A = this chain, B = another copy of it.
Amino acid sequence: MTPETDLPTLDDIRAAAARIAPYVHHTPVMRSGLLDARAGATVWFKCENMQKVGAFKARGASNAVAVLSDDRAAKGVGTHSSGNHGAAVAMAAARRGIPAYVVMPRTAPRVKRAAVAGYGARITDCAPTLAARESTLAGIVAETGAHEIHPYDDRLVIAGQGTVGLEILDQVPDVDAVLVPVGGGGLLGGVACAIKSLRPAVEVIAVEPVGADDACRSFRAGYRIPSVDPKTIADGLLTSVGVRNFALMQRYVDDVVTVDDGAIVEAMRLQWTRMKTVVEPSGAVSFAGLLRHRARFAGKRVVAVISGGNVDLERLPW
């Protein structure tokens, strides 16, 4: 089976939901009359910033760790991550009592680094490039025999993130459109698969920072075009879309829209000041997409996924 055909299905996502239910939060959806007025739509915010470890990543990592046999798990798990996935793997490993090895770019926000360390994971620093992350992790895996859990290009991880989609359909049964941030595409691929499998008429729109717009360009071209030197304030969305993730995008996603960093900061600010909820830049991208493409969503019932809420309070973008 090639990666392009090794894709999660609705059954995988349902199995993940049952498997991870004891370990993750069923997160709330929030509403705000003020933000509805700004958007010109009826908006539900799916609050994965209130998820364990402060981001949806808890779902995929919990699924991937829970499914391991005791023998396979004993040597531990490893991953490379700019932060939230690393914390999620560290949490899941700590719960299971197995070692976690996390490779982090030296540029990762301090708050995310502290979270990974807080779960007792062993952190290895590397240069902030995908190549450095992958080769550093490969060395650790060769040495320890740890099981690698890819941050997004992994069937079980994508299935775990897809449980967000199941919850959205439960919480907002008459939703018209769902806006999802895209970086590596784990959340997007899983949510799109869940929603389109159950309710094909619901639009699934990916939102991407214009400074890291490989998903948008790839979607238009019909083949993967990885980012070269991406730059955006949304530090969780710097990675390029994975192979499985892109295949899911092609199958299930209706469109990809982009937003600039100014729009992301403005959306984040509105969510902080009006809805009183702490959202990280990557998590505000979905609402930024809604604000920047108002006409498209006018009068609709829209869910915007807040993917995470881990920000360094000493380094806010205003």
Contact = CB atoms under 8 A, between A and B. Distances in A.
A304 to B, nearest CB: 15
Given A314-B318, A316-B316, A309 B111 contact: no
Interface stretch (A120-128, A142-150, A184-192, A273-281): A273-281
A240 interface: no
Interface string A268-297: 010011011111000000000000000000
Contacts of A277: 276-278
Nearest to A317: B313
B318 A273 contact: no
A50 interface: yes
Copies of the protein in its oligomer = 2
Interface residues of A, number: 19
Contacts of A272: 278, 313
A29 to B, nearest CB: 12
B50 A269 contact: no
| Closest CB pairs A-B (n = 5) | A276-B309, A276-B278, A49-B276, A272-B278, A50-B276
Given A49-B276, A50-B275, 7 more contacts: A47-B276, A273-B278, A273-B313, A276-B277, A277-B278, A313-B318, A316-B316
